[in-house]
Structure 1
Amino acid sequence: MVAHISDDDVDRIFRALADRTRRDIMRRTLTEEASLTTLAHDYDMSFAAVQKHVRVLETADLVERIPRGRERIIRGNPATIRRAQELLARFEHLWRARIDRLDTFLTEDAGDSTTT
């Protein structure tokens, strides 16, 4: 069963994932937690810029920021990715059904025209 996902959630998720750096942060934090400092070290941008990217991901519920001492640990949220994946699967199902109906229509129409 697909969990409900609002249009606003969908907008936030896909807007967040539209950026290459944010997708990379997601990939990295889904496999293992990383401090914000560690993440920032690996990009050719300021710490503040990486922090903004993480904030966008956090707003979309794609990552969570966990205080651990003086550091902020970033952890990916696979549940949100799963919800987005389920949404895309619903769209795929919808379009496949439409293509199948079109194929059936064209096949029947081609059969009708060959018998005349």
Structure 2
Amino acid sequence: MSQIDNKVFHALGSDTRIRMLELLDESERHISELARELEISVPVAAKHVKILEEADLVERKIFGKTHVLKPNRENIYLAMNVFAPTKSIEVEKGTSLLDALRGVAAVKVKKKGDREVIVSTDGDEGLYVYEINGEFSEKSVQNCIIDEDTTIEWKKLEPVTKIKLDIHVKE
């Protein structure tokens, strides 16, 4: 999905399809499982799934006669990025990313060890990362110096637990 089109917005325009995506985000499911959990018929669930597939928001794996669905997270995230505001700012050559951010947003900074980290943007607390022209950077926002026109994507990491490890060390 190179760009968001009307199929995505149509697919996300149904409470049933949104609920399907939420259920699939929890775990992969068969169409019949979705139908049962949503208390709709299998044919109706299949029609909703077809719309989600046409929008490239779900993927189907086929094992014999069994069809298992999972969300296409990358495309879901791309769809949500449409709503991210773009702010333009002009800065002097050599400005730090932190100073540039302060020019467009209220940022709260805390000292962590020997560096400062941003803990809040416009009052929204969390852990933030950034990309420079589509690439992640290892530099802190203070050490990221802007010397040329650039596009920064400022992203809040949402707390999502993919795997929880309970590790016990043998004595």
TM-aligned CA deviation for residue 72 of structure 1: 0.7
Q: Following superposition of structure 1 onto structure 2, how do residues 22-33 of structure 1 map, counting pairs within 5 Å?
A: 22-33=17-28
How far the C-alpha of 1:4 sits from its partner, in A, is: 4.1
CA offset digits 1:19-73 (Å, max 9, x no partner) = 0000010111123101111111112321100000000000000001111232110
Letter in 1 for 2:44: A
Give deviations 1:61-114, integer Å, cap 9, x for gaps. Answer: 00011112321101000011111122211xx226x99xxxxxxxxxxxxxxxxx
User: Which stretch shifts more, 70-79 or 35-44?
Assistant: 35-44
Would you say 1:82 and 2:77 are equivalent positions?
yes
Q: What number of residue pairs does the alignment pair up? A: 89
Superposed counterparts of 1:3-82, under 5 Å: 4-5=2-3, 9-82=4-77
Residues 24-33 or 48-57, more deviating: 24-33
Q: CA deviation at 1:13?
A: 0.6
Gapped runs of 5+ residues in structure 2? Answer: 90-171
Report the equivalent of 1:93: 86
Moved over 6 A (4+): none
User: Higher relative contact order at CA 8 Å, sep ≥6: structure 1 or structure 2?
Assistant: 1
Q: Which residue identity does 1:37 align to in structure 2?
A: S
* TM, length-normalised to structure 1: 0.68
Change (3 A) 1:46 1:88: same
- Bigger share in strand: 2
Between Structure 1 and Structure 2, the one with more helix by share is 1
In structure 1, the gaps of 5 or more residues are 98-116
Change (3 A) 1:64 1:47: same
